[in-house]
């Protein structure tokens, strides 16, 4: 055999051996790593999440996942069903008469997972770290209003605001950024925005093992001050694809699938229909709304807006599009949120004749032989923007297009990316848009606040309301009032007026779903939209 | 030969520069503001001041040309910037996920070669036989079924129903099989048909006829001569597809929860994490260019006529 031939054969063989060895090397090294890491436990719940849990830092946002942060870190106040605010790390609190001073009595039996004490000093240290980046946290109403933080004694902490702001207590229940990191977690310069040393919290869970993009195992914090969870470990597998999550669940690799939109409606229905699994649907967490820009000529007339509300079969649409997983909404905020249950407004029932009559009355007449109504020679044409990645929005837009075509309204539907949708909404470059409120513990105050905020779409949406100024004043007032009754009255007036004039149309109440294996019991949805659901859950042996 | 290699390497530089310019241009053409995207990914309603501050932090207020030149200087130092979302260096983030993607890519390349070489070869020498029909059927499936759908089918049958392989994740060689086969399927379809055609064409060549008249046994003619020449287009295909494989792994990684950098890239697109998108696209461009160069060099070693022909034309 010639040398050249030998060389070629050698080259080919080398390439093949290289491919083999790299592949096998990868497999073997990983399997070794994996064999020491996954110590399976019978009292462990495995569930899937679309994204990696991220850095377990209580004071930052992306890419940290809210549910995971809430497993490790706790708030001073916790948000409970019906909007009740209960003491958590703070045993009690007192608000001064002028609504500016909040004095918290800190619970004395709380220790961080590393055994150190939870006291007023560490509360202040956390607040100071948050305030160092106040700009970043400015979206949370009370943060920019903080004037001073003081340690009164070891277990008493005082928060002083520049002006009264009643939702302070409610905002203390959010998952980030006002939860508490232990001393050992702070970096040298105390600036947690750049990262934490270790995830030390007071919560019922501690991070035990973690592999980026693959899994995280949380184990029970045996020193937890509250009631210990009955499950020893929670394993979170990162499974980005919804269909794969369903298949992994069917195979039994997962005990629980939980969240909003984590699996498709069809998959949920199919799993439910087998009867082999437990399923739950939560109380409403938010309302899916249709926001109309009253700055646009066609939508400036309240009769047109109301006609459009009367002109689609909400019940049929919700059932058809969400297979009944969402519930037809009569109010622009779910009524299980604080101050939302007294809204006084006419509930709108599907009535095509009334819709047509209202459009005629508004001067939009259907010329003979034409399919679109006209006024002064201009057709009644409206654009609806939806998030193209959200199949529910897309299908609802198509349904509305068909329903309103029957009324003689030409609806042009435009699918855009989420970021474009937000940008266009803020820049008032829209006729109609889908929106959903923030849910607990943010609403109703966050929702009314953005309605009043310049450059958020809503202020323009209500621009032709005759009582717009009055609503804006009421919104400013409701945040400052310390009288509970007055606050209730103001909210009732604001929400009733916003809805009555039809620029914000409630469509459906969004809900969370859970599917679990039959050996899982006591599953309940947390009242706080962002919290984890693992506290009461148990596995039957 | 040395000059040829040098020339090939030098031509990579302008092509890579064009790739950087295109990538940068396309990302900046997008109407989405990265600062806005950053906050919406974190579910925060950003105030105008917050947006302004983020834009300043990202260096987005500078003129485009300065942004581009700065980015280029950094890329040369393998510095792709800091991810807007994780706040960590992009190169660190990509390289830590690289092993998983390379493993998947090589696994599927290996499967593609092991299946398509014998199958394509047999289909070529036994035209219209059972094996030829089988190869045609396999190619049809491989070329027409999208990877994600094939992935679901594999998971459904082999993991959920037969319990032979895990649904997702990494850890053992079993985890690698289904995603590799899914990724390899379109390649198997392509290479099998390519090799079959090539074997058929070469069997008609005059050198085969000549060998036959010299009385050389058919097995030796086919095995030693035809296969060696016929495999050449397949190697070109392999080189072209190495880049495709790396980038095509995105879908498969998402379906099988494979922790490679394809998945990281998808999240970056949703979050408009510009440095990551830029880093990924440039890395992919680099892989395409280098794998094509390597293939050319291998081709040159196997069949020096290609190189000689190239030189004669100059």
Q: Which pLDDT score is estimated for A37? A: 37
> Closest residue of B to A22, CA-based?
B103
Question: Rounded CA gap, A352 and A311, in Å?
Answer: 5
Most confident residue range from A355-359, B1-5, B212-216? A355-359
| CA–CA dist B109, A13 (Å, integer) | 15
pLDDT at residue A413 tops 70: yes
Interval A115-126: pLDDT, tens: 999 999 999 999
B232 to chain A nearest CA, in Å? Answer: 12
**Alpha carbons A478 and A449: distance in angstroms, whole number:** 10
The number of angstroms, rounded, from the C-alpha of A524 to the middle of its chain's C-alpha atoms is: 17
- Out of A264-278, A349-363, B190-204, pick the least confident: B190-204
Cβ distance B155 to A62 less than 8 Å, yes or no, reads no
Looking at the complex, report in whole angstroms how far the Cα of residue B254 sits from the nearest Cα belonging to chain A. 6
> What pLDDT sits at residue A466?
87
Is B159 within 8 Å of A239 when comparing Cβ atoms?
no
Grade residue A4 by pLDDT with cuts at 50, 70 and 90.
low
CA atoms within 13 A on the CB side of A113: 23
Q: How confident is the model at residue A7 (pLDDT cuts 50, 70, 90)?
A: low
Using a CB-CB cut-off of 8 Å, the residues of chain B touching A139 are 44-47, 50
| Binding-face residues of B in 259-278 toward A, CB within 8 A | 259, 263-264, 266-267, 271-272
**At A38, is the pLDDT very low, low, confident or very high (cuts 50, 70, 90)?**
very low
Interface contact flag, A8 B259, Cβ < 8 Å = no
Chain B residues touching residue A242 (CB < 8 angstroms): none
Q: What is the C-alpha to C-alpha distance for residues A83 and A171, in angstroms, rounded to an integer?
A: 12
Looking at residue A71, its pLDDT comes to: 95
d(CA A165, CA A28): 59
Chain B residues with CB under 8 Å of A455 CB are 48
- Residue A28 has a pLDDT of 40
From the list B97, B106, B172, which residue is nearest A19 (CB)? Answer: B106
Two structure tokens written together for A309: 């509300």
> What b-and-e string marks burial along A25-57, b requiring 16 or more CB atoms within 10 Å of the CB?
ebbeebeeebeeeeeeeeebbbbbbbbbbbbbb
**Chosen from B93, B257, B276 to mutate, greatest number of chain A CBs within 10 A:** B257
Distances (CA, A) of B190 to A235, B116, B186, B231: 41, 8, 6, 13
DSSP for A108-137, please give it: SS-B-TTSPBP-HHHHHHHHHHHHHTTTTT
- Those of residues 141-200 in A touching chain B at CB distance below 8 A are 194-195
Residues of B whose CB is below 8 A from A174: none
- Interface subset of A 361-420, CB within 8 angstroms of B: 417-420
The pLDDT mean for chain B works out to 82
Rg for chain B (alpha carbons), in Å? Answer: 24
Interchain contact B303–A (C-beta under 8 A): no
Structure tokens at A121: 């000093």
Least confident interval from A38-42, B65-69, B89-93: A38-42
Confirm or reject contact between B160 and chain A (CB < 8 A). yes
Among B164, B291, B174, smallest CA distance to A31 is for: B174
Between chains, do B85 and A62 touch, taking CB under 8 Å as contact?
A: yes
Provide the pLDDT for residue B75. 80
Q: Is the peptide bond before A25 cis (omega within 30 degrees of 0)?
A: no
Query: Is there a cis peptide before residue A103, judged by omega within 30 degrees of 0?
Result: no
Rounded CA separation B34/B21 (Å) = 19
Q: What is the pLDDT of residues A459-471, one digit of tens each?
A: 888 888 888 889 9
- Chain B within 8 Å of A55 (Cβ-Cβ)? yes
**B107-147 pLDDT, tens digit each:** 998 999 899 888 988 888 888 888 888 888 888 888 888 88
Q: Which of A7-11, A434-438, B223-227 has the highest mean pLDDT?
A: A434-438
Highest mean pLDDT among A28-32, A350-354, A482-486: A350-354
Cα of B253 vs its chain's centroid, Å: 13
Q: A58-85: per-residue pLDDT in tens? A: 998 878 899 999 999 999 999 998 888 9
Convert the pLDDT of each residue in A301-355 to its tens digit: 999 999 999 999 999 999 999 988 899 999 999 998 999 988 888 888 899 999 9
Name which of A110, A54, A65, A87 is nearest A223 in CA terms.
A110
Question: CA–CA separation, B78 vs B83, rounded Å?
Answer: 14
**CA-based nearest residue in chain B for residue A133:** B50
The reported pTM is 0.84
> What confidence category does residue B244 fall into, taking pLDDT thresholds of 50, 70 and 90?
confident
In angstroms, the Cα distances linking B60 to A52, A135, B66, B84 are 28, 18, 10, 12
Q: How far apart are CA B92 and CA B82, in angstroms?
A: 9
E-strand spans in A132-232? 146-153, 156-161, 205-211, 215-220
Q: Name residue, tokens 């209580």.
A: A58
Segment A503-513 shows an average pLDDT of 93
**Which pLDDT score, from 0 to 100, does residue A112 have?**
95
pLDDT for the residue B290: 84
B86 touches chain A (CB under 8 A): yes
CB contact under 8 A, B168 and A19: no
Pick A419's closest partner by Cβ from B36, B50, B163: B36
Task: Choose, out of B168, B228, B255, B302, the residue to mutate when testing the contact with A (most A CBs < 10 Å).
Answer: B168
ipTM of the complex: 0.82
Distance (Å) from the alpha carbon of A442 to chain B's nearest alpha carbon:
12
Query: Which of A185, A415, B202, A93 has the alpha carbon at shortest distance from B211?
Result: B202
Mean pLDDT, residues A282-296 taken together = 92
Please list every residue in chain B whose beta carbon sits closer than 8 Å to the beta carbon of residue A26: 99-100, 102-103
Residue A5 binned pLDDT confidence (cut-offs 50, 70, 90) = low
Question: B108 to chain A: nearest residue by CA?
Answer: A23
Residue A193: closest CA among chain B residues belongs to which residue? B87
pLDDT at residue A9 greater than cutoff 80: no
Closest CA to A75 of A123, A108, A33: A123
Which secondary-structure segment (H or E) carries A39?
Answer: none
How are beta strands A44-49 and A286-292 bridged, if at all?
unpaired
Question: For B259-287, what is each residue's pLDDT tens digit?
Answer: 988 888 888 887 778 888 888 888 888 88
Enumerate the residues of chain B whose CB falls inside 8 A of the CB of residue A51: 267
Cα of B36 to nearest chain A Cα, Å: 7
Q: Is the pLDDT of residue B296 over 60?
A: yes
In chain B, what residues touch A244 (CB-CB under 8 Å)? 152, 155, 167-168, 255-257
Q: Is B130 left (phi over 0), alpha (psi -120 to 50) or beta?
A: alpha
Reported as a pLDDT band with limits 50, 70 and 90, residue A31 is very low
Q: Which of A23, A238, A420 sits opposite B106 (nearest CB)?
A: A23
Tell me: pLDDT of A245 over 90. yes
Residue in A22, A214, A446 closest to B106 by CB: A22
The strand pairing partners of A49, in sequence order, are A238
């Amino acid at each position: 055999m010639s040398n050249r031939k030998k060389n070629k054969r050698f080259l080919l063989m080398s390439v093949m051996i290289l491919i083999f060895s790299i592949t096998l090397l990868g497999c073997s090294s990983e399997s070794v790593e994996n064999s020491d890491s996954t110590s399976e436990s019978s009292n462990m719940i495995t569930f899937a999440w679309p994204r990696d849990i991220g850095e377990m830092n209580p004071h930052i946002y992306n890419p940290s996942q809210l549910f995971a942060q809430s497993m490790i870190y706790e708030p001073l106040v916790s948000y409970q069903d019906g909007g009740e605010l209960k003491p958590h790390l703070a045993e009690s609190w007192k608000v001064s008469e002028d609504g500016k001073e909040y004095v918290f009595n800190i619970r004395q039996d709380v220790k961080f997972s590393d055994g150190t004490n939870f006291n007023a000093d560490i509360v202040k240290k956390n607040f100071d770290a948050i305030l160092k980046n106040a700009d970043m946290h400015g979206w949370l109403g009370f943060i920019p209003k903080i004037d001073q933080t003081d340690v009164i004694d070891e277990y008493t902490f005082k928060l002083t605001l520049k002006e009264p702001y009643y939702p302070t207590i409610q905002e203390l229940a959010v998952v980030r950024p006002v939860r508490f990191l232990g001393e050992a977690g702070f970096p040298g310069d105390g600036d947690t925005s750049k990262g934490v040393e270790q995830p030390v919290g007071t919560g019922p869970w501690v991070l035990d093992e973690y592999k980026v993009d693959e899994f995280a195992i949380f184990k029970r914090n045996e020193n937890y001050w509250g009631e210990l969870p009955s499950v020893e470990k929670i394993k979170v597998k990162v499974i980005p694809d919804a269909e794969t999550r369903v298949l992994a669940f069917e195979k039994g690799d997962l005990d629980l699938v939980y969240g909003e939109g984590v699996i498709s409606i069809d998959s949920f229905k199919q799993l439910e229909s087998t009867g082999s699994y437990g399923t739950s649907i939560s109380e409403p967490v938010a309302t899916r709304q249709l926001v109309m820009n009253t700055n646009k000529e066609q939508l400036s007339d309240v009769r047109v807006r109301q006609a459009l509300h009367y002109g689609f079969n909400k019940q049929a649409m919700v059932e058809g599009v969400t297979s009944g997983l969402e519930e037809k909404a009569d109010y622009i905020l779910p009524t299980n949120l604080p101050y939302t249950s007294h809204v006084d407004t006419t509930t709108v029932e599907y009535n095509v004749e009334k819709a047509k009559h209202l459009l005629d009355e508004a001067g939009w007449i259907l010329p003979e032989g034409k399919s679109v109504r006209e006024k002064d020679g201009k057709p009644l044409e409206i654009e609806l923007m939806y998030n193209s990645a959200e199949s529910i929005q897309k299908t609802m837009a198509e349904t509305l297009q068909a329903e309103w075509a029957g009324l003689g309204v030409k609806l042009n539907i435009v699918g855009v990316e989420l970021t474009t949708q937000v940008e266009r909404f803020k820049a008032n470059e829209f006729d109609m848009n889908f929106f959903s409120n923030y849910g607990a513990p943010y609403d109703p105050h966050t929702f009314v606040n953005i309605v009043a905020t310049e450059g958020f779409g809503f202020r323009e949406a209500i621009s032709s309301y005759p009582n717009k100024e009055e609503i804006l004043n009421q919104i400013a007032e409701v945040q400052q009032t310390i009288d509970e009754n007055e606050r209730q009255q103001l909210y009732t007036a604001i929400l009733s007026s916003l809805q009555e004039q039809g620029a914000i149309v409630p469509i459906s109440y969004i809900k969370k779903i859970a599917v679990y294996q039959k050996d899982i019991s006591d599953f309940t949805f947390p009242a706080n939209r962002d919290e984890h659901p693992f506290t009461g859950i148990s596995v039957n042996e | 030969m040395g000059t040829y290699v040098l020339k090939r390497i030098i031509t990579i530089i302008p092509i890579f520069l064009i790739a950087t310019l295109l990538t940068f241009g396309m990302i900046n053409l997008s109407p989405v503001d990265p600062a806005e995207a950053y906050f919406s990914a974190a579910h925060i309603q950003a105030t105008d001041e917050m947006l302004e501050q983020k834009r300043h932090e990202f260096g987005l207020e500078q003129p485009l040309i300065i942004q581009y030149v700065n980015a280029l200087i950094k890329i040369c130092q393998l510095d792709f910037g800091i991810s807007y979302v994780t706040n960590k260096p992009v190169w660190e983030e990509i390289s830590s996920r690289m092993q998983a993607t390379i493993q998947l890519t090589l696994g599927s390349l290996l499967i593609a070669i092991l299946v398509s070489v014998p199958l394509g070869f047999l289909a070529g020498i036994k035209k219209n036989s059972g094996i030829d029909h089988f190869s045609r059927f396999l190619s049809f499936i491989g070329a027409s079924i999208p990877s994600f759908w094939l992935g679901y089918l594999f998971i459904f049958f082999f993991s959920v129903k037969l319990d032979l392989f895990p649904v997702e994740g990494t850890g053992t060689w079993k985890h690698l099989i289904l995603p590799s086969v899914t990724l390899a399927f379109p390649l198997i379809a392509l290479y099998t048909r390519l090799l079959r055609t090539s074997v058929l064409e070469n069997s008609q060549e005059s050198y085969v006829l000549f060998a036959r008249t010299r009385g050389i046994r058919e097995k030796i003619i086919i095995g030693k001569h035809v296969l060696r020449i016929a495999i050449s287009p397949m190697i070109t295909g392999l080189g072209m597809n190495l880049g495709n494989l790396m980038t095509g792994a995105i879908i498969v990684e998402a379906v099988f929860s494979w922790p490679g950098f394809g998945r990281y890239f998808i999240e970056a697109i949703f979050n408009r994490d510009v440095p990551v998108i830029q880093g990924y696209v440039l890395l992919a461009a680099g892989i395409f260019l280098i794998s094509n160069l390597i293939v050319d060099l291998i081709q040159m070693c196997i069949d020096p006529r290609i190189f000689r022909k190239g030189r004669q034309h100059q």
